[in-house]
Amino acid sequence: MFFEIALIGTTASGKTQIANLLAKNFNAVILSLDSLCVYKEINIASAKPSQEELKNLNYFGVNLLSIKEHFNVEMLIQEYQKAKEFALIKNLPLIITGGTGFYLKTMMDGLSQKIEEIKTDLNNDEIYSLMCKIDPDYKVEKNDTYRLKKWLSMYETTKEIPSVFLKRTQKEGILKNIEIYELVWERDLLKKRIGIRTKKMLENGLIEEAKELFSSFNHKLKALNSIGLKECKEYLDGKISFNELENLITTHTAQLAKRQRTFNKKFQSTPLKFNEAFEILKQKFMN
């Protein structure tokens, strides 16, 4: 029977594990909302599902394009439409899951009018400073080149304050009345899980993956500056030791989890403890 739910949570909260378990037991379709899993070349740093899982489960949103190509939320919406059509035809449930809450929120709230990116000689610091002065309601990280340039393009092209422009041109969202479940952890326990996952990623070849990526692609690409890879670059350049590498990845991932936890407060969700989540969700899938 077709229905759709969203399963959210911080990085390392176990979203993929629960989604895969539900998919194995109920043949559910999974749409990944992960900004790194879309890239074919990033496997360990993205904590991507295994090749066996991708082969045996109905996965969408994974391995869509090369790291040198840019992924955006419009592509994700197209992937959602493919996943939903597949689920409807097969009469299967659809699980939307991943750590990029921005994608889910955009699917619920709707996209705004698209603006082509303009060329500029301004660097990130200059754009960020201008944005803080003109449009303090527009929230972007200081090192997010893509979204900073997007903000500047909107400002220069429309001559409007971008946050106002986005609200004025916003279209209706494609996700309506979806049930959202959030995996929750005590912070100390989550920090331990993050540490264990970091150690496992290093044992599984994270440094080797990073070395291959940095030798094959421009190190300035946004995806290569994600947590796990940017620290490996410092290690490969001889700037930090192996122990510092492991500690930095763990620390930065914990900081990301804190930001995700804050962002997820925007959703009206049902909290679930990890060790109870499958049994609780199983009841919904059986009804």
Q: Which domains does the chain have, with CATH numbers?
A: 4-110+172-286 (3.40.50.300), 124-169 (no CATH)
| Residue 12 is assigned to a ligand binding site | yes
How far is Cα 283 from Cα 114, in angstroms, rounded to an integer? 41
57-90: per-residue pLDDT in tens? Answer: 999 999 999 999 988 888 999 999 999 999 999 9
183 with 9: CB under 8 angstroms? yes
| Residue 112 is assigned to a ligand binding site | no
Mean pLDDT of 152-169: 92
1-30: per-residue pLDDT in tens? Answer: 899 999 999 999 999 999 999 999 999 999
Q: How far apart are the first and last CA of the chain?
A: 9
Nearest to 61 by CA among 22, 25, 95, 26: 95
pLDDT confidence of residue 105? 93
For every residue of 135-203, DSSP letters joined together read -TTS---TT-HHHHHHHHHHHHHH-S-HHHHHHHHPPPPS--S-EEEEEE--HHHHHHHHHHHHHHHHH
pLDDT confidence of residue 171? 83
What's the pTM value of the predicted model, to 2 decimals? Answer: 0.86
Long-range residue pairs from 152-156, CB within 8 A, at least 24 positions apart, any chain = 152/118, 152/120, 152/122, 152/127, 153/115, 153/116, 153/117, 153/118, 154/115, 155/130, 156/118, 156/120
pLDDT confidence of residue 162? 93
Mean pLDDT of 214-221: 94
Q: Which of 45-49, 112-116, 238-242, 244-248 has the lowest mean pLDDT?
A: 112-116
pLDDT confidence of residue 166? 87
pLDDT confidence of residue 114? 81
Residue 116 has pLDDT above 90, yes or no: no
Give the DSSP H/E element, type plus range, for residue 280: helix 274-286
pLDDT confidence of residue 160? 94
72 with 103: CB under 8 angstroms? no
How far is Cα 27 from Cα 49, in angstroms, rounded to an integer? 16
How far is Cα 9 from Cα 264, in angstroms, rounded to an integer? 8
Q: What is the dihedral of CA 150, 31, 83, 56, to 10 degrees?
A: 140
Query: Which single residue is written with the structure tokens 């331990």?
Result: 192
| Residue 13 is assigned to a ligand binding site | yes
How many CB atoms are closer than 10 A to CB 266?
13
Task: Return the sign of the alpha-carbon dihedral for residues 131, 136, 137, 139.
Answer: positive
Q: What is the rounded average pLDDT for all residues in the chain?
A: 94
| Residue 10 is assigned to a ligand binding site | yes
What's at 20, amino acid-wise? N
pLDDT confidence of residue 132? 94
140 with 160: CB under 8 angstroms? no
Residue 143 has pLDDT above 90, yes or no: no
Mean pLDDT of 270-276: 97
| Residue 16 is assigned to a ligand binding site | yes
pLDDT confidence of residue 72? 86
Mean pLDDT of 255-273: 95
pLDDT confidence of residue 140? 86
Mean pLDDT of 234-252: 98
163-187: per-residue pLDDT in tens? Answer: 999 889 888 889 988 999 999 999 9
Phi, psi of 183 (to 5 degrees): -75, 125
What is the three-class DSSP state of 239?
Answer: coil
| Residue 11 is assigned to a ligand binding site | yes
